[in-house]
Amino acid sequence: MSYLSIDSLQKVLSEQVFFHTKDAKKAAGRALGTMIEIISYYLLNEWGLNDSISIERGLPEYGNPSITHNVEFTLHPLLQTQEVFVANHLPLTSSKILKIINLGDEFTTKSNCLLDKNLTLRNACNIAESSNMLVLSTITDITDSIISVKVNIQHQKPYAMFECKRVGVEEGNKKGPQTIEKAKQGAYVAQNTSSLQKIRNEKGEKYGIIYDNNKPIIQPYSDLLHSIIISKEHEKLLKNFTLSVGIVSNHGNWFTSENPNKELKVLAQSYDWLLFLSDLGLAQFITDLLLSPAPQYESIKTSFLDSYKEGKKSNIFTKVKMNLAAHMALCHYFHSHINEIENWFNIISPQNASIMTLKNELYILRDKNWEEIV
């Protein structure tokens, strides 16, 4: 690998891509944050969770739904799915898809475009919603004449949420000035959006409390969390439960291996799962796909450069909007390298857990009988 540190990679991006901006290093840092979100999205997609995913939804606080918080990704119970075939006449809008399927009057159409004339795809495209359901669409196949579209009806209340956090280090500073603020923001959202709440006893031990018909159940947190996910007896408690997953990156900014700092400790005690995207993993993503891509991944580099060139019209390299060719190449890369990519992540909490355990928990939640639960 040509570049072994995120700082050196950020410098390369500053010089080669963002040289025309007022603050090239800061612009490169923001792009690194976008890459972490893209990596997270395509990991979930490769795990087969795309039918459940929504992007940047407002997540309500438990017991106080008037306050919502936008998070990167939420995973929702899948209530119904169907595949439809639409003539390949772009743009492919919500209204064109909805003309083919039969939704009730309770649904309101969203003015989103799944695929525009410039072949920009909208990931997890929300085409309609009601008071308690979301209707999302994804492309499963495309030919010169026909586009195959999967339409997924999801329940509004998610069973899991993902947030990505990265803060860059400015010249002359030891860590980013906003690190603790971002940690506090993430911790607040993680602690206030699920029916399973965290409390501590006088010894500092973490317990969980959840209500069943206004009666509190209090147990050691990890035991209660595991029971809610796994146990058939506690399935009814899933109605307002949301598994919280945080993804952070940039080693020197969040902690050292010998001495985790306050920011990381705040996040680790607040999320059910806290994953660290290693410098090595982020560096491999950048070098493999953006700096020195193989021919089959050249479209990813092109989309990235087109999104950040001087005088650009739009960004087609984000978790929400992605050039279609780049999207297909990213799907291929993640499918071909999934075992390696999963090793990009270190598990900060729970201690001694593995990413395979997280994946299994998400599958268990996905496959619950949500028609009965919600």
What's the confidence (pLDDT) of residue 7? 78
* Radius of gyration in angstroms for the set of CA atoms belonging to the chain, rounded to a whole number: 21
Q: Phi and psi (nearest 5°) for 188?
A: -60, -45
Q: Are residues 118 and 227 in the same domain?
A: no
**Cβ–Cβ under 8 Å, residues 144 and 130:** no
Domain span holding position 139: 78-155
pLDDT of residue 253: 63
pLDDT of res. 174: 55
Instruction: Specify the pLDDT at position 256.
Output: 47
- For residues 96-120, average pLDDT: 95
Same domain? 164 vs 137: no
Q: Considering 155, 186, 218, which residue would you say is the last residue of a domain?
A: 155
Average pLDDT over residues 13-41: 91
- Determine the average pLDDT of the residues in 101-117: 94
Query: pLDDT tens digit string along 293-336?
Result: 999 999 999 999 999 998 887 899 999 999 999 999 999 999 99
Per DSSP, what are the bridge partners of residue 139? Answer: 149
Residue 341's alpha-carbon distances to 180, 271, 329, 347, 352, in angstroms, are 28, 22, 15, 14, 19
* Mean pLDDT value across residues 188-196: 97
| Boundary residue ending a domain (116, 136, 155) | 155
Average of per-residue pLDDT values in the chain: 91
Whether the predicted pLDDT of 121 surpasses 70? yes
- The total of structural domains in the chain comes to 3
pLDDT tens digits, one per residue of 225-255: 999 999 988 899 999 999 999 999 875 565 5
Q: What percent of the chain has pLDDT over 90?
A: 77
pLDDT at 283 over 80: yes
| pLDDT of amino acid 169 | 55
* 127 pLDDT above the threshold of 90: yes
- Tokens 């947190």 belong to which residue? 221
- Does a structural domain hold residue 87? yes
Residues 142 and 267 reside in one and the same domain: no
The domain boundary residue, chosen from 127, 155, 183:
155
- Same domain assignment for residues 352 and 367: yes
* 68 occurs within a structural domain: no
Do 185 and 207 lie in a common domain? yes
350 cis-preceded (ω within 30 degrees of 0): yes
Query: Does residue 220 sit in the same domain as residue 293?
Result: no
The verdict on residue 131 lying in a domain is: yes
- Within the chain, where are the H helices? 6-16, 24-46, 94-98, 179-192, 221-230, 251-254, 262-270, 279-286, 298-308, 324-336, 338-342, 355-366, 370-373
What pLDDT, in 10s, does the model give residues 197-231?
999 999 999 999 999 999 999 999 999 999 999 99
pLDDT score of 168:
54
| Same domain flag for 137 and 178 | no
The answer on 167 and 217 residing in a single domain is yes
Asked whether residue 62 is domain-assigned, the answer is no
* 178 inside domain: yes
- Between 213-217, 260-264, 267-271, the lowest mean confidence (pLDDT) is in 260-264
Evaluate whether residue 266 is within a structural domain.
Answer: yes
* Statement to judge: residues 350 and 224 lie in one domain: yes
Same domain, 190 and 242: yes
pLDDT at 265: 85
Tell whether 110 is covered by a domain. Answer: yes
Does a structural domain hold residue 64?
Answer: no
pLDDT of residue 257: 44
The H-assigned helical ranges of 107-202 are: 179-192
Say whether both 287 and 214 belong to one domain.
Answer: no
Same domain (yes/no): 305, 261: no
Q: How confident is the model at residue 47 (pLDDT cuts 50, 70, 90)?
A: very high
**Mean pLDDT lowest among 165-174, 181-190, 212-221:** 165-174
Q: Enter the DSSP assignment of 260.
A: B
Q: 68-73 — which CB contacts under 8 Å span 24+ positions? A: 69/189, 69/193, 71/161, 71/162, 71/163, 71/189, 72/37, 72/40, 72/41, 72/162, 72/163, 72/164, 72/319, 73/40, 73/41, 73/44, 73/161, 73/162, 73/319
CB of 152 within 8 A of CB of 140? no
Arithmetic mean of pLDDT, 149-164: 97
